Chains A and B, each alone.
Chain A
């Protein structure tokens, strides 16, 4: 230790180590078993949990087997009736008790989290633990209010939850709090690298008097997670982690009937305009990618800076990153701690090397020997550089420039991901324009990495689907109480036409693509036989017709830009024209069905300008908007029942919200919908907003589900569930199984939109 006189010369900060005895004492009770049915099991086959900063073993834990998972699911199943049967108030008391109990042991949680993950104690103490506590308080409130605010909704049952290693306790809170508030019971698998805080949480459950089996925790690696995902007794899977694993889970759960929410990776843009407060933006980068060692799914890792200020900005970043202190996580003056595991460190190094090989130039701070990586900025990169496209999950920012706002948006959206975005400009007019155009589930204006239990968090595109936090997060743990309607099965495709066999003048129906009637690419038609009689011939659509329809839908951007009122006018006009054309439609549908269709047009015209977004109460002096946005291009697979109403029941809510749709109509009776094309044309529905491709539904649905440029899919064909869910894994489009294909209501509008949460801090 230097003398005071010596320190007065250097004015260094010196060590400020948090004492970890409290955590080491707690760890001495290991090795640990699982937490199943309200008690810890005897330890089984063990694996180590490491302290990455010092490369020592913190504890030994049990590798969860399929039998362990089975026991945990059974315990959760057994606890479900009583737990879901409790009053909301009774569940609220339990969640409140958990929040209080964590608060009483917050220091132990913070130290344990820092030891296990390698994150700075300051971040564990000031961010992870308080946010986790806040999540349980918030959801104690939702438990209290659920019956009132989510009338007609019931919990899924047993939820299997798999969480990552970057925010172990916080992700646990994000998963368990809403599940319990809604009345579910859970089996949670913490990450292999960071299971300790989950086991401490298990103790909290005992201390808080939570009924046995409501929360079960099984530790282990990916095989344990796979067993949980595959388990028949699980009703819902909620996963946070890599897009790679999320895609696998989507495939495995396809057709299983399990509900699914995924919160996956990101490569989020951090857009700095010339009129930004550049110093504020520099600190934003620190809080974005140099936060939590860059192991943050929503980290602003792609810096896009206006050419006009690029030199100034990168110069300041270079200076700033050198002042960051990398090292011992338990030191209170550490900015960047240890990388979670040597394997992750190797991955970061490998990706950075690839980026350099592709021409990237590094600017780095310093880091000690061991499992550490210095804060890094890579310049001289373009979108083709792997460090620009791949999620690194380390403290590495890439920097590119843009010339105009349009180019900023193009670059920002040039990614498979869509988790978050950060926009820096003192011109709110401009910032909000970019916020509206960027494809991301969370947008921070002049800020970054703001979180709150009452702000929906989740991704677009391949960053996953479903939201955590706020009302939307609760909705993900509930389902409609009513059972789905029984739907007619998909029959065999009608035979190819033998001869011109309809009486009278031949009636030609074509596909409807881009506002025009198009012959099927196959050059073929099939016979439509209704009630044993030939109704006519329908075009036999195929892969290329789907491709063309999706392209046409993409061009119809004007529809999405219109106001709700403008869309409402079009939908009312559509209803009016349905009435006027009812004579010609009656050849294909009953008057009752036509009347239903007109009513449906009015219903969604009514909604078009009333499905309001919300402003959430989060932090003071912040506006937190949860904005319902259309997906863009949706795929709709209609059922076989009531071909006209069945078609419009899917199309109208979708387009009312501003989507453009590619629709596969009823296979057995598509002519009514093709006849509608004429009504669309005269109802001012712009070309490309509604596209119809008739034909063999299974083949067309497969193409549509696999199409990477379709953002969401609805299916009213239960027989195709497994197929379309599995195919959707390609771009991880959400798939909504329409259980009431002739229904209408808010559920349809929620399924036709995704939430974009926009944070705008304010203050003069």
Chain B
């Protein structure tokens, strides 16, 4: 992982209005303007695997369930597909993302693979817990071996325009992370307006977030391309103002290989090649991998695939 971003002082002058219809138009046209076929599509789907935070965040998660997920993270494709694609080695996902109490079994299951474990924390998904408990939860997850912490922000600070409170909260969480990287989940479905999304993105980055992330997966609306577009523009603007490079993670609601391609097109078009590497881009997804695997199987065999012929995550 790249070095942690240090953050910058709170700067509300960095906010800007966002024209929502124009953002929606751009998001729709961007993915219609770029097509990926054949080998290229296969390569981009493989890249999506490398950038994937393979995730389970459910109330019925158990250590065994997490171990199964980790096995899939280590071997996301069948050998047949890997050989068919002409790869030298089995690809791996970017990370595995779990609840704090599941970090220990995940770390153990991924031992030797180099795949980091990411943990949600801070009262995920609503974040409505006392701050000291949220900070303690971060420290717990880091102690368990999580190398990345996906925190949730207090939406009320955004909706109420209390930017200093938001800044202080994320900065405190950043400090609690220690060496672990902080991904700030903005829960954009709760923030609703793109102007809110832009402002919250700026404050999270100023407070030292290494990644900004769209959603918990539990809001009414999860990752959407217009939201992603605005967060990417915030990353670009923050880099121009501070020189610091921040990563981006859409999460929630992304289920198909087509989604994987669209989000990568967004990164390539708005931020450039560097944001197609796991250091700066993650796809937070659970079921997307299965669809990617089916598409790659089709690419190799020329036959449409059946889910039951591929290993479950």
Contacts and interface: CB of A to CB of B under 8 A. Distances in A.
Interface stretch (A13-21, A152-160, A557-565, A729-737): A13-21
A306 to B, nearest CB: 14
B258 interface: no
13 contacts: A1-B38, A2-B39, A4-B39, A4-B85, A5-B88, A8-B46, A8-B47, A122-B33, A283-B29, A426-B17, A446-B19, A446-B22, A762-B21
Interface in A261-284: 275-280, 283-284
A764 B19 CA distance: 8
B299 to A, nearest CB: 9
Given A275-B17, A279-B233, A764 B39 contact: no
A647 B291 CA distance: 77
A251 B269 CA distance: 50
A284 to B, nearest CB: 7
B1 interface: no
Contacts of B65: none
B109 interface: no
B17 A764 contact: no
A92 to B, nearest CB: 32
A590 B36 CA distance: 81
Interface string B216-256: 00000000000000000100000000000000000000000
Nearest to A332: B35
Given A5-B88, A14-B38, A277-B17, 16 more contacts: A4-B43, A4-B46, A4-B85, A7-B40, A11-B47, A13-B36, A16-B40, A126-B32, A275-B17, A277-B18, A280-B22, A331-B35, A333-B33, A335-B33, A446-B22, A763-B21
Interchain residue pairs A-B with the least CB separation, the first 3: A14-B40, A280-B22, A332-B35
Main secondary structure of the interface of A (DSSP, over half): loop
Interface residues of B, number: 38
B24 interface: yes
Interface in B40-64: 40, 42-44, 46-47
B44 A16 contact: no
B34 interface: yes
Given A4-B42, A11-B44, A763-B21, A16 B86 contact: no
B184 to A, nearest CB: 22
B23 interface: yes
A126 B17 CA distance: 29
Contacts of A762: 21
Given A13-B34, A14-B38, A3 B86 contact: yes
Interface in A1-40: 1-5, 7-8, 11-16
Nearest to B91: A8
B273 interface: yes
A5 B88 CA distance: 9
A11 B32 contact: no
A762 B23 CA distance: 11
A100 to B, nearest CB: 25
Contacts of B37: 14-16
A39 B25 CA distance: 43
Contacts of A280: 18-19, 22-23, 26
Contacts of B42: 4
Interface in B234-292: 264, 268-269, 273, 276
Interface of A: 1-5, 7-8, 11-16, 122, 126, 275-280, 283-284, 287, 323, 331-333, 335, 426, 446-447, 621-622, 761-764
B193 interface: yes
B306 interface: no
A328 to B, nearest CB: 12
Contact of A277 (B16, B32, B40, B264): B16
A287 B18 CA distance: 18
Contact of A283 (B22, B35, B88, B193): B22
Contacts of A16: 35-37, 40
Given A7-B40, A14-B36, A447 B87 contact: no
Which one of B29, B40, B88 has the greatest number of beta carbons of chain A within 10 Å? B40
B24 A763 contact: yes
Contact of A4 (B86, B268, B269): B86
A16 B18 CA distance: 33
Given A4-B46, A333-B35, A621 B21 contact: yes
B20 interface: yes
A621 B22 CA distance: 12
B25 A283 contact: yes
B112 to A, nearest CB: 23
B43 A763 contact: no
Contacts of A763: 20-21, 24
Contact of B86 (A5, A276, A333, A622): A5
A340 to B, nearest CB: 21
Contacts of B86: 3-5
A4 B34 CA distance: 18
Interface string B141-184: 00000000000000000000000000000000000000000000
Nearest to B230: A279
A3 B192 CA distance: 43
A426 B35 CA distance: 33
Contacts of A8: 43, 46-47
The listed residue with most B CB atoms (<10 A of its CB), out of A4, A13, A762, is A4
From B20, B22, B88, residue with most partner A Cβ within 10 Å: B22
Given A2-B39, A4-B87, A333-B33, A447 B47 contact: no
Given A3-B86, A5-B87, A122-B32, A11 B43 contact: yes
B44 A277 contact: no
Contacts of B264: 11
Contacts of A122: 32-33
Interface string B59-77: 0000000000000000000
A280 B29 CA distance: 13
Contact of B39 (A1, A277, A622): A1
Interface in B2-26: 16-26
Contacts of A333: 33-35
A12 B22 contact: no
Contacts of B20: 763-764
B36 A764 contact: no
Nearest to B22: A280
- Of A5, A277, A284, A446, which is in contact with the most chain B CB atoms at under 10 Å from its CB? A277
A173 to B, nearest CB: 22
Contacts of A11: 43-44, 47, 264, 268, 273, 276
Contacts of A5: 86-88
Contacts of A761: 21-22
A7 B26 CA distance: 26
Contacts of B273: 11
Contacts of A447: 21-22, 25
Given A5-B87, A277-B16, A446 B32 contact: no
A623 to B, nearest CB: 11
Given A11-B47, A275-B17, A284 B35 contact: no
A8 B51 CA distance: 12
Given A8-B46, A764-B193, A277 B33 contact: no
Contacts of B46: 4, 8
B21 A284 contact: no
Contacts of A277: 16-19, 22
A446 B35 contact: no
B26 A283 contact: yes
Contacts of B38: 1, 14
B128 to A, nearest CB: 25
A621 B18 CA distance: 16
B39 A7 contact: yes
B235 to A, nearest CB: 12
B1 to A, nearest CB: 20
A293 to B, nearest CB: 15
Given A5-B86, A333-B35, A12 B19 contact: no
Contacts of B43: 4, 7-8, 11
Contacts of B16: 277-278
